Amino acid sequence: MTVERALRGAPPHRLLDSLRVDLAQQLAALSADLLLVDYGLTSLRPVEPVQDHAGVQHAAVGTGPAGRAFATQQPYLFGGDGPTATAYLPVTVRGERYGVLVVVLPSDRVAPETTEDLAHVAEVLGHALRVADRHTDLYRLTRRTRPLSVPAEMQWGALPGRACAGPEFDLHAYWEPSYSSGGHVLDWSVTGEELQLVVANATGPGTRSALVSTLALNAIRNARRAGLDLVGQASLTDQALYGQHRGERSLSALLLGFTLATGDVEVVDAGSPTVWRRRGSRTERIELERQLPLGMFEDTVYATQRLRVLPGDRLLFVACDRGEPPSGGGDVGLDRSVGRAIERTRHLDGAETPQAVVRALRGAPGRLPDDILVLCLDWRGSAIYGADGMESAKGGRAEYEVCAKHGTKPCEEGGC
């Protein structure tokens, strides 16, 4: 398509200029502007300079046509009765929401397929932005409502993003403070057979935690890309952190491997991030055997645990710097707050849930950690498995039953 060729050939900071020329030639577009969501997921900010034919300006997420297009992930076409019509198109790539493309057209150039064609243009633009973002600061500058701290700059530069989607799953993350936090680790890798996921947080705020997180993230990636399993990834990262900090700095982490075809999950629990499951009408914390944080002691031996997710399950991962527990409350108080927050947000979609859970925790009574990361994983599962988790495409049952309470095969706690 001409749009794809135009964007591939454009300088990284001139993507919009190239797109505007192409849309003017193809659809007689009067203007095309791009609104990018800020780091805090609160506002949509225009990439400068704007053509401003439609009065494009900052918009709050969820309000106005641009904010609604972003929140609902649905394209909208407004007007057409007068001389012009305005299309609002969400710009999203593999679940990662970047912003909204706003295109103003003459009404006589609007056809039934116009919105669909422009939605494809927005998708192509999203892929081009992912590449261009590595070569220019323009788009990252646009996303800032205020300066990032140095630890936050390190964190945003290292993490893969806030979302990823595949046929079997959707995952979305959110953390606060978005402009100053630096201690979180979030990473994933998808193949045809497996989703590997890491959720972690270093101890304490600031640059030291960001340095620990950056070292750990690269150690995990190095081990994963060398073909090591979860235990190998945990062990190599543990050695890297201990070798650098001699136990003075550590990382609390969950490393998970999801088999896409079956929903079988291997987990290495190395510290404080917790896992919650919403299955049907029930919300509960999944109790894992917690092992030592990465880097705390030399040559720690790690082991995997197993569980299983079923189609329709929602997993929520909560990582935070717990610090010293509040007097008399301990982790019980935090877990109670997390459980209530998840219950209150159960009707939201996966993209909205992490931010809503964080905000609910912020409003909860008592002393809560300053830095909180929440990741929501909605599991659809493979097409060959039915809603009960049993193999269906081959006409038979799976070779084992799944414990309805603990989601394991067979029940690993017994007595069920």
pTM across the whole model: 0.87
Q: Would residue 231 count as lying in a domain?
A: yes
Half-sphere exposure of 247 (CA within 13 A, CB side): 6
pLDDT tens track for 268-310: 999 878 999 999 999 999 999 999 999 999 989 999 999 999 9
Task: Tell me which residue of 233, 234, 184, 186 sits closest to 209, measured CA to CA.
Answer: 184
Residues 207 and 236 in one domain: yes
Q: Establish if 411 belongs to a structural domain.
A: no
Q: Is the bond leading into 177 cis (omega within 30 degrees of zero)?
A: yes
Please report, for the domain that includes residue 107, its CATH number: 3.30.450.40
| CA count, 13 A, side-chain hemisphere, 190 | 13
Helix, strand, or coil (residue 344): helix
Residues 351, 240 share a domain: yes
Same domain membership, residue 155 and residue 114: no
Return the pLDDT at 146: 94
Distance CA 344, CA 104 (A): 39
pLDDT at residue 368 in the model:
64
The pLDDT value given to residue 18: 95
Boundary residue ending a domain (123, 142, 161): 142
Q: Of 364, 379, 394, at which residue does a domain stop?
A: 379
Whether 159 and 112 share a structural domain: no
Give yes or no for residue 330 having a pLDDT over 60.
no
| Nearby residues of 260 by Cβ (< 8 Å), 6 or more positions away | 166, 168, 169, 192, 193, 194, 195, 382
Continuous segment of H or E residues that includes residue 119: helix 114-132
Query: What average pLDDT does the chain have?
Result: 87
Q: Is residue 83 part of a domain?
A: yes
348: which 2 tokens? 């939201």
Axis crossing angle, helix 353-362 with helix 330-344, rounded to the nearest 10: 130
Q: What are the tens digits of pLDDT across the range 173-215?
A: 999 999 998 889 999 999 999 999 999 987 666 899 999 999 9
Confidence check: pLDDT of 1 > 70: no
Indicate whether 395 belongs to any domain: no
> What is the average pLDDT across 102-118?
92
How far, in Å, are 9, 21, 29, 138, 296 from residue 14 at the CA level? Answer: 10, 11, 18, 10, 48
Among residues 321, 53, 45, which one has the least CA distance to residue 201?
A: 321
pLDDT tens across 25-78, in order? Answer: 999 999 999 999 999 999 999 998 887 665 677 888 988 999 999 999 999 998
Paired sense of beta strands 274-279 and 314-320, if any: antiparallel
**Directed axis angle between helix 207-225 and helix 150-158, to 10°?**
10
Q: For residue 62, tell me if it sits in a domain.
A: yes
pLDDT at 355: 95
100 and 216 belong to one structural domain:
no
Instruction: Please report which confidence band the pLDDT of residue 79 belongs to, taking 50, 70 and 90 as the band edges.
Output: confident
Q: Which of 142, 171, 189 is where one domain is finished? A: 142
Rounded to whole angstroms, the Cα distance separating 56 from 152 reads 29
Q: How much is the pLDDT for 2?
A: 80
Strand, helix or coil for residue 22: helix
**Domain presence at residue 348:** yes
What integer pLDDT is reported at residue 331 of this predicted model? 60
Cβ(195)–Cβ(315) below 8 Å: no
**Of 72, 39, 69, 95, which is closest to residue 377 (Cα–Cα)?**
95
Q: So what's the pLDDT on residue 409? A: 46
Residue 237 sits in the same domain as residue 331: yes
What was the pLDDT predicted at 201?
87
Q: What is the mean pLDDT of residues 128-134?
A: 95
Are 245 and 277 members of one domain? yes
- Given a cut of 80, whether residue 322 has pLDDT beyond it is no
Same domain for 318 and 174: yes
Are 177 and 272 in the same domain? yes
Among the ranges 14-23, 327-336, 389-398, which has the highest mean pLDDT value? 14-23
pLDDT at 94 over 60: yes
Please state, in angstroms and rounded to a whole number, the distance separating the CA atoms of residues 108 and 76. Answer: 17
Domain hosting residue 132, numbered range? 2-142
385 three-state secondary structure: strand
The answer to whether the CB of 237 falls within 8 A of the CB of 216 is yes
* pLDDT of 320: 82
- Residue 370's Cβ-count burial label (10 Å; 0-12, 13-18, 19+) is middle
Q: What is the band of 367 on the pLDDT scale with cuts at 50, 70, 90?
A: low
Tell me whether strands 184-190 and 169-176 are parallel, antiparallel or unpaired.
unpaired
How far apart CA 268 and CA 304 sit, in angstroms, is 5
Specify the pLDDT at position 214: 95
How far, rounded to the nearest angstrom, does the alpha carbon of residue 406 sit from its chain's CA centroid? 25
**Whether residues 312 and 335 fall in one domain:** yes
* Predicted pLDDT at 362: 80
What pLDDT, on a 0 to 100 scale, did the predictor assign at position 382? 83
Strand partners, 197: 188, 256
At 166, which CATH number?
A: 3.60.40.10
pLDDT band at 366; cut points 50, 70, 90: low
How large a percentage of the chain has pLDDT more than 90?
70
Q: Look at residue 402 and tell me if it is in a domain.
A: no
Are 127 and 161 found together in one domain? no
Same domain, 154 and 182: yes
Following DSSP, what letter does each residue of 124-178 receive, concatenated? HHHHHHHHHTTT-SHHHHHT-SSPPPHHHHHHHHHS--SEEE-SSEEEEEEEEST
Q: In Å, what is the CA distance from 75 to each residue of 28, 71, 90, 165, 297?
A: 19, 11, 6, 19, 52
pLDDT of residue 332: 66
pLDDT reported for residue 49: 83
pLDDT for res 361? 86
Residue 247: band (very low, low, confident or very high) from pLDDT cuts 50, 70, 90 = very high
Pairing of strands 163-165, 169-176: antiparallel
Q: What's the domain count of the chain?
A: 2
Q: Given pLDDT bands bounded at 50, 70 and 90, which one contains residue 388? A: very low
Q: Is residue 413 part of a domain?
A: no
